[in-house]
């Protein structure tokens, strides 16, 4: 079974430190598998994508940054509010030259500061423009658009542009722009994914975030559980490890068999690590149960001991494919 | 270089500690642990938190967000000291409301508080949280009830926002653009030349198209009401900023041994240097500790593989693999930490081992406090 068959726009959010950008990038690779074209967009001016893919800072221009297994392509675009506003002025008012003069005066900054919602409409609007864009053959220019979005605490406000616009212009182009953005975001063309770690705080924030998204009728996609420690021990062994009841003599014997000496240091290290690991895994299982109760797709990704580099992204992408994402 | 946190916490000349760093690195927990430890060492401490996890807040007895310091119960006085601990959560809107109320007569305050632009400004503006955190810090400092205030900084996009956002917001509110744009009747551009005035004309025009005339009118009313009573936003922000440069302040940068968090920490350290602000050191949370066994990762893995290949001792093989994984994680983390230290050799670094469990009571905070002060942690 494939998840979110209709969704073209995949929005990725998560609490700071959960690996939101990493997951968005791996998702862009997974969805590009077998000949698809995806684009990874970032909107917070952090140049996180460039750092992750180890490329120079991205300009406001769509660039190919990676390929996917089976002949897919991953493109990237870093959007900032200023560029998006200039685009918008050009599109609706043919004001590009005046626009750049205004931006030199600090006016663009000023406008988006007075009305923070304006910046969000422009950024989500850019994402929707990319979603709807057609190529010469009238096919979608990109099969999937992956948006590395603001963190969970701000995601509903960021996406719910109609709500944000309520204090702003109630008629005119910016209002119809917001309406057309909403028509994409609040439909099954969009899936909003949340990235979390199996710790109390990020899980709570995820649960709260999902409630808030649902209250605003925004389409929640899946939960990406990042940096888990795959259990090395089964439940019975974990209980023994925590109680300090692992069979020491047997382990010592095994170690001798393996060619190492069962020194007190080694034994002490293995047993204390086993107990630590068991506590951690038990905690993760408890937190995972809280997420499971939501009955949403959960994609579990491991902590990569070697850290996240380009190879790591492909590793995570392969796990996503195996969990029912893209790849058809 | 190691960090002597107790020397900072017990130094009577230090009255403000600012915990900063990127999101998700354990700033709030670190601030709370520092507060508890300082209190138990005899200081009268107030911890100003921004957005604590529910159970951490409960651990400190904060059940509601009411913008007032509350005494934390359960401080140990074993060392016969007379320390105390209070904690509060910042309510940015209420803090802003109070600032307005205390600087204007009731009638004008009412007018400002009901202005739609003020409501957006005080509840959802970028930078307001940082501005109000600084404002609250200034207030707590003025109350002289505490001899040490520990501030946990807002979860900003980047750590520098705590330093920059208040001044940015201040100059925006005091700025020329806001005045010219919001008072076209006064003649947009007196003294700025006709060509610039023309530019402003286009600008006002574009702005009304984008935002609607009502928004501009609200902003205009707000500026007019604030002007007569309040004085400069920028000045206020500058005054608190000066407090941060005071010798009584110490910055503690919090990071995790991950690339992004350390990059943020490096930016912040460089900035503190540049502005001659006092940096206590870097706290590196959640480091992977691995007991020394004299064996290399390869030797451990080879042994695990031998057992697996022979179909023997699956439990032991699993334990060996677990150990090897942890060695690899530690190596990567140390590599990242060493790169930081190579670039910033004068910054004291204190590694804090990863805990298997989340912290949700005073005992847990005390345990972190001990790790913060433990100069014998070899990592």
A73 in the same domain as A26: yes
Nearest to A273 among B116, B317, B322 (CB): B322
Question: Which residues of chain A have a CB within 8 Å of the CB of B116?
Answer: 167
A198 in the same domain as A157: yes
Contact yes or no for B323 and A18 at CB 8 A: no
Hey, of A305, A310, A311, A312, which one would you mutate to test binding to chain B, going by the most B CBs within 10 A of its CB?
A: A305
A260 in the same domain as A208: no
Domain of A112: which CATH number? 3.40.50.300
The per-residue pLDDT for range A69-114, each reduced to its tens digit, is 999 999 999 998 888 888 888 877 777 777 777 777 777 777 777 7
Contact yes or no for B291 and A269 at CB 8 A: yes
Share of chain A above pLDDT 90, in %: 68
Question: Which residues of chain A have a CB within 8 Å of the CB of B155?
Answer: 16, 151, 153
The per-residue pLDDT for range A270-310, each reduced to its tens digit, is 999 999 999 999 999 999 999 999 999 999 999 887 778 89
Q: Which two tokens stand for residue A299?
A: 């994609």
Q: Which two tokens stand for residue A180?
A: 């057309």
Label the pairing between strands A72-78 and A190-196. unpaired
Question: Which residues of chain B have a CB within 8 Å of the CB of A259?
Answer: 302-303, 306
A129 in the same domain as A24: yes
In a domain, A252, yes or no: yes
Q: Which two tokens stand for residue A230?
A: 């795959």
Interface of A with B in 253-272 (CB under 8 A): 253-255, 257-260, 263, 265-266, 268-272
Interface of A with B in 152-211 (CB under 8 A): 153, 157, 167-174, 199-202, 204
Nearest CA to CA, how far is B353 from chain A (Å)? Answer: 12
Band (pLDDT 50/70/90 cuts) for residue A169 is: low
Question: Which residues of chain A have a CB within 8 Å of the CB of B293?
Answer: 263, 265-266, 269
Nearest CA to CA, how far is A35 from chain B (Å)? Answer: 32
Contact yes or no for B295 and A260 at CB 8 A: yes
Q: Is A286 helix (H, G, I), strand (E, B) or coil?
A: helix
pLDDT value at residue B324: 96
pLDDT value at residue B189: 44
A18 in the same domain as A85: yes
Please, are residues A67 and A74 in contact by the beta-carbon 8 Å criterion? yes
Contact yes or no for B126 and A16 at CB 8 A: no
- The number of helices, as runs of H, and strands, as runs of E, in chain A is 14, 8
pLDDT value at residue A175: 80
A44 in the same domain as A138: yes
Please calculate the CA angle A168-A9-A109 and round it to the nearest 5 degrees.
35
In a domain, A2, yes or no: no
Q: How many domains does chain A have?
A: 2
Q: In the 3-class helix/strand/coil scheme, how is chain B assigned residue by residue?
A: CCCCHHHHHCCCCCCEEEEECCCCCCHHHHHHHHHHHHHHCCCEEEEEECCCCHHHHHHCCCCCCCCCCEECCCCCCCCCCCCEEEEEECCHHHHHHHHHHHHCCHHHHHHHHCCHHHHHHHHHCCCHHHHHHHHHHHHHHHHCCCCEEEEECCCCCCCCHHHHHHHHHHHHHHCHHHHHHHCHHHCCCCCCCHHHHHHHHHHHHHHHHHHCHHHHHHHHHHHHHHHHHHCCHHHHHHHHHHHHHCCCEEEEEEECCCHHHHHHHHHHHHHHHHCCCCEEEEEEEEECCCCCCCCCHHHHHHHHHHHHHCCCCHHHHHHHHHHHHHHHHHHHHHHHHHHHHHHCCCCCEEEEECCCCCCCCHHHHHHHHHHHHCCCCCC
Contact yes or no for A268 and B24 at CB 8 A: no
Contact yes or no for B292 and A93 at CB 8 A: no
Cα(B140)–Cα(B132) distance, rounded to whole angstroms? 12
Nearest CA to CA, how far is A174 from chain B (Å)? Answer: 6
Q: Which two tokens stand for residue A200?
A: 């109390």
Contact yes or no for A93 and B209 at CB 8 A: yes
Question: Which residues of chain A have a CB within 8 Å of the CB of B290?
Answer: 269, 273
Contact yes or no for B203 and A105 at CB 8 A: yes
The per-residue pLDDT for range A62-78, each reduced to its tens digit, is 999 999 999 999 999 99
In a domain, A42, yes or no: yes
Contact yes or no for B53 and A303 at CB 8 A: no
Cα(A186)–Cα(A205) distance, rounded to whole angstroms? 22
Smallest CA–CA distance from B300 into chain A, residue: A260
Question: Which residues of chain A have a CB within 8 Å of the CB of B55?
Answer: 200
In a domain, A161, yes or no: yes
Maximum distance among all Cα pairs of chain A, rounded to whole angstroms? 80
Interface of A with B in 67-126 (CB under 8 A): 89, 93, 95, 98, 101-102, 105-107, 110-111, 113-116, 118
ipTM over 0.95 threshold:
no
Nearest residue to B376 (alpha-carbon basis) of B353, B346, B342: B353
Contact yes or no for A167 and B116 at CB 8 A: yes
**How many residue pairs bridge chain A and chain B with CB atoms within 8 Å of each other?**
198
Question: Which residues of chain B have a CB within 8 Å of the CB of A25?
Answer: none
Question: Which residues of chain A have a CB within 8 Å of the CB of B117?
Answer: 114
A179 in the same domain as A140: yes
Distances (CA, A) of B214 to A171, B116, B261, B302: 12, 10, 42, 72
Contact yes or no for A265 and B294 at CB 8 A: yes
What is chain A's mean pLDDT, rounded?
Answer: 90
pLDDT value at residue B60: 80
Contact yes or no for B315 and A272 at CB 8 A: no
Interface of A with B in 5-64 (CB under 8 A): 15-18, 44, 46, 48, 51
In a domain, A258, yes or no: yes
Contact yes or no for A305 and B199 at CB 8 A: no
Hey, of A21, A57, A82, A254, which one would you mutate to test binding to chain B, going by the most B CBs within 10 A of its CB?
A: A254
Q: Which two tokens stand for residue B231?
A: 């004085």
The per-residue pLDDT for range B277-307, each reduced to its tens digit, is 999 999 999 999 999 999 999 999 999 999 9
From first to last of its 379 residues, chain B has per-residue pLDDT tens of 789 999 999 999 999 999 998 888 889 899 999 999 999 999 999 999 987 777 778 778 777 767 889 999 888 877 667 899 999 999 999 999 998 998 888 999 999 999 988 988 888 777 888 889 988 998 999 988 999 999 998 876 667 788 888 887 887 887 777 776 666 544 444 445 555 566 667 777 777 777 777 778 888 888 888 876 666 777 878 887 888 888 999 999 999 998 888 988 999 999 999 988 999 999 999 999 999 999 999 999 999 999 999 999 999 999 999 999 999 999 999 999 999 999 999 999 999 998 867 788 899 999 999 999 998 887 8
Hey, of A269, A278, A280, A285, which one would you mutate to test binding to chain B, going by the most B CBs within 10 A of its CB?
A: A269
A267 in the same domain as A203: no
Nearest residue to A169 (alpha-carbon basis) of B119, B201, B178, B216: B216
In a domain, A328, yes or no: no
Cα(B29)–Cα(A101) distance, rounded to whole angstroms? 47
Nearest to A102 among B157, B203, B299 (CB): B203
A217 in the same domain as A285: no
Helices (H), A186-296: 200-215, 235-243, 248-258, 264-292
> Which residue segment(s) compose the domain that A123 sits in?
9-229+303-322
In a domain, A135, yes or no: yes
Question: Which residues of chain A have a CB within 8 Å of the CB of B22?
Answer: 16-17
Nearest to A116 among B125, B292, B360 (CB): B125
Contact yes or no for A204 and B158 at CB 8 A: no
Cα(B122)–Cα(B163) distance, rounded to whole angstroms? 19
In a domain, A315, yes or no: yes
- b/e code B18-27 from CB counts within 10 Å (16+ = b): bbbbbbbbbb
Contact yes or no for A167 and B55 at CB 8 A: no
Please, are residues A49 and A59 in contact by the beta-carbon 8 Å criterion? no
Chain CA centroid to CA A227, Å: 13
pLDDT value at residue A167: 57
Please, are residues B251 and B279 in contact by the beta-carbon 8 Å criterion? yes
Question: Which residues of chain A have a CB within 8 Å of the CB of B182?
Answer: none
Nearest residue to B9 (alpha-carbon basis) of B189, B236, B252: B252
Chain CA centroid to CA A21, Å: 5
* Exposed / middle / buried, residue A256 (Cβ in 10 Å: 0-12, 13-18, 19+): exposed
pLDDT value at residue B199: 63
DSSP state of A327: -
A123 in the same domain as A170: yes
Sign of CA dihedral A108, A109, A114, A117: positive
Question: Which residues of chain B have a CB within 8 Å of the CB of A95?
Answer: 206
A202 in the same domain as A58: yes
Cα(A8)–Cα(A31) distance, rounded to whole angstroms? 10
pLDDT value at residue B209: 75
Cα(B250)–Cα(A249) distance, rounded to whole angstroms? 52
Maximum distance among all Cα pairs of chain B, rounded to whole angstroms? 89
A201 in the same domain as A156: yes
């Amino acid at each position: 079974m494939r998840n979110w068959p209709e969704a073209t726009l995949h929005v990725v959010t998560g609490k700071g430190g959960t690996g939101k950008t990493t997951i968005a990038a791996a998702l862009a690779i997974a969805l590009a598998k077998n000949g698809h074209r995806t684009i990874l967009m970032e909107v917070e001016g952090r140049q996180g994508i460039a750092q992750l893919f180890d490329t120079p800072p991205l300009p406001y221009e769509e660039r190919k940054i990676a390929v996917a297994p089976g002949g897919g392509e991953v493109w990237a675009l870093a959007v900032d509010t200023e560029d998006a506003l200039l685009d918008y002025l050009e599109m609706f008012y043919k004001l590009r030259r005046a626009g750049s003069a205004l931006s030199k005066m600090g006016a663009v900054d000023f406008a988006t500061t007075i009305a923070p919602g304006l910046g969000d409409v422009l950024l989500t609007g850019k994402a929707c423009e990319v979603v709807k864009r057609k190529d010469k053959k009238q096919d979608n220019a990109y099969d999937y658009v992956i948006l590395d979005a603001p963190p969970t605490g701000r995601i509903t406000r960021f996406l719910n542009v109609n709500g944000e616009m309520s204090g702003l212009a109630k008629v005119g182009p910016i209002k119809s722009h917001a309406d057309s953005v909403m028509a994409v975001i609040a439909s099954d063309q969009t899936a909003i994914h949340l990235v979390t770690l199996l710790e109390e705080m990020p899980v709570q924030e995820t649960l709260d975030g999902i409630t808030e998204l649902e209250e605003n009728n925004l389409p929640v996609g899946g939960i990406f559980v990042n940096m888990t420690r795959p259990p090395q021990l089964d439940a019975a062994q974990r209980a023994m490890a925590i109680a300090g009841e692992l069979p020491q003599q047997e382990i010592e014997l095994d170690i001798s068999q393996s060619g190492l000496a069962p020194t007190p240091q080694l034994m002490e290290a293995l047993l204390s690590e086993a107990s630590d690991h068991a506590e951690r895994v038990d905690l993760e299982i408890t937190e995972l149960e809280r997420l499971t109760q939501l009955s949403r797709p959960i994609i579990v990704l491991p902590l990569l001991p070697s850290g996240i580099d380009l190879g790591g992204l492909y590793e995570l992408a392969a796990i996503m494919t195996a969990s029912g994402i893209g790849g058809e | 270089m190691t960090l002597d946190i107790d020397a900072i916490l017990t130094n009577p000349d230090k009255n403000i500690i600012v915990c900063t760093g990127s999101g998700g690195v354990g700033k709030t927990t670190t601030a709370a642990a520092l507060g508890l430890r300082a209190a138990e060492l005899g200081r009268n401490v107030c911890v100003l938190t921004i957005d604590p996890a529910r159970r951490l807040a409960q651990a400190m007895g904060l059940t509601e967000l009411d913008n007032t310091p509350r005494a934390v119960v359960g401080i140990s006085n074993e060392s016969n000291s007379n320390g105390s601990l209070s904690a509060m959560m910042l309510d940015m809107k209420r803090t802003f409301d109070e600032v307005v109320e205390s600087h204007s007569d009731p009638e004008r305050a009412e007018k400002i508080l009901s202005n739609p632009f003020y409501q957006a400004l005080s509840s959802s503006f970028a930078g307001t949280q940082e501005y109000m955190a600084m404002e609250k810090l200034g207030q707590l400092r003025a109350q002289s009830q505490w001899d040490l205030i520990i501030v946990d900084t807002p979860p900003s996009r980047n750590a520098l926002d705590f330093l920059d956002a208040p001044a940015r917001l201040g100059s925006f509110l005091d700025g020329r653009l806001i005045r010219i744009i919001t008072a076209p009747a006064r003649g947009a551009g007196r003294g700025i030349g006709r060509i610039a005035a023309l530019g402003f004309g286009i600008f006002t025009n574009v702005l009304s198209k984008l935002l609607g005339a009502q928004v501009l009118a609200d902003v205009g009313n707000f500026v007019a009401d604030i002007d007569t009573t309040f004085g400069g936003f920028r000045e206020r922000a500058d005054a608190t900023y000066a407090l941060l440069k005071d010798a009584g302040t110490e910055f503690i940068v919090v990071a995790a041994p991950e690339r992004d968090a350390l990059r943020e920490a490096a930016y912040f350290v460089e900035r503190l240097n540049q502005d001659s602000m006092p940096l206590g050191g870097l706290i590196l949370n959640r480091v992977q500790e691995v007991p020394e066994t004299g064996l290399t990762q390869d030797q451990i893995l080879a042994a695990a593989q031998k057992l697996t290949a022979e179909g023997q001792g699956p439990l032991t093989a699993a334990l060996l693999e677990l150990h090897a994984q942890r060695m690899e994680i530690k190596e990567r983390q140390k590599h990242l930490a060493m790169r930081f230290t190579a670039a910033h050799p004068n910054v004291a670094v204190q590694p804090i081992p990863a805990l298997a469990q989340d912290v949700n009571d005073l005992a847990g905070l005390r345990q972190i406090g001990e790790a913060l002060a433990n100069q014998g942690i070899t990592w």
